[in-house]
Amino acid sequence: MKSKFIVVFLIVVFNQACVLKPKQIISETIDIRQELGFAKVGTPKNSKLKKSYFSESYFCYYRLDLFEDSTFFEGSNCEGRMHFSLGKWKISNDSLRLIYTPLDNLNMIMDYSLKGDTSKFFVMKTINQNHEPIENLQIIGFKKGIPTKTALKKGYILTDKYGEIKIKKADFDSVLIYAFTNITNKVLTFKNKAIPDSLKLTLFFNSTNFCQFPTYEYYKDGFVFIIKNEKLITKDLVLKEIKI
């Protein structure tokens, strides 16, 4: 029997209080890019890492990955808060310029696949464009009559060091992929009878985790680094190259 996946959106609007909009049910094969609020245009190409730079001090960490197709990933984690950006990079003489992708054109999801509807288990695997596992991407499971924190101990499930999660379908009435909520204000939900056997996500994202609810940052005017002695330099920041 042909699988049909039911997707329920919970769009949360934050303005002092959370307002829950009516559920929208779509009975068809889903397009995860669209349903999570990411654009269909400007999808980053699968490209090898060309150079990587980092800076670290106290409780803060910053990393810039430059790919061969002239795209970049920029991420920072400071005192439990994560920010990231995507876009294009360009070198001119002794300077590196970052041109940021507007949020409306953002697409972190490079590829995905949904398979099966007969297994007792749901397995989700998340990797990046270099086929490296993404650890700590968060999902939440719900069971009628049982508090989430009781059912899951911590109230959520995180991908392991292999980028995987495996749960029994019977343990939950629904499973929510919650990791992108802070970016798109949408939550992708699979109801129990429509949970697939497997979901594989390929993201344009480095291995830095999602558990801190990452926030997307966009700089209209871009950003410029001075290149000197294999380092990237600004007034307030010096990035060292990571040998790859």
Number of domains in the chain: 2
pLDDT digits (tens, 9 = 90+) for 137-185: 888 888 777 655 554 555 578 899 999 999 888 888 888 888 888 888 8
Does 124 lie in the same domain as 16?
A: yes
pTM greater than 0.95:
no
On whether residue 185 sits in a domain, the answer given is: yes
Does 183 lie in the same domain as 229?
A: no
Does 151 lie in the same domain as 113?
A: yes
On whether residue 1 sits in a domain, the answer given is: no
Does 18 lie in the same domain as 122?
A: yes
Give the DSSP letter string of the chain: -----EEEE--EEEESEEEEPPPEEEES---HHHHTT--SSSPPP---EEEEEEEEETTEEEEEEEETTSEEEEEEEETTEEEEEEEEEEEETTEEEEEEPPGGG---EEEEEEE-S--SEEEEEEEETTS-B-TT-EEEEEBTTB-HHHHHSSSSEE--TTSEEEEEGGG-SEEEE-TTHHHHS--EEEEGGG--SEEEEEES--S--STT--EE---TT-EEEEEETTEEE-SS-EEEEEP-
User: Which CATH number characterizes residue 171's domain?
Assistant: 2.60.40
* Domain ranges, residue 96: 49-104+215-242
Over range 183-203, report the average pLDDT.
88
